[in-house]
Amino acid sequence: MLDPAELEKASRRFMAESRRGDIMHETDAPARVFASLVVDDTIAQVLKVGTKERGWFVGFEVDTKSDLWRRIKAGEIRELSIAGDATKTLLEDAA
């Protein structure tokens, strides 16, 4: 898993620059992020989350007149993808 600080940084960048969801990066589907919360240890403690799971919660708004919504309701699609970029960094072997 990503370092929580890096995940927070990535989520803020995504919210500032994109806020779009699509189907496996294939199309610009009519989905827009309306909620975003990175759950780190501090947030989990405040919210009294009892699990050790940490990560990023993203809520999408989908146009209910779209084909995407029909496919979600039919059970064909259970998740959306988000776009991003990364920089590969070679790490030295710690052994």
- Adjacent-strand bridge partners of 59: 35
Higher local confidence (pLDDT), 24 or 58: 58
- pLDDT tens across 10-49, in order? 888 888 877 777 777 666 667 888 899 998 889 888 988 8
Give me the mean pLDDT over the 3-9 stretch: 86
Residue 94 has pLDDT above 60, yes or no: no
- Contact at 8 Å (CB) between 56 and 38? yes
Band the pLDDT of 73: cuts 50, 70, 90: very high
Enter the pTM of the model: 0.64
Q: Would you list the DSSP string of 18-76? A: T-EEBSTTSS--SEEEEEEEEE-HHHHHHTT--S---EEEEEEEE-TTSHHHHHHHTTS
Write down the pLDDT at residue 63.
87
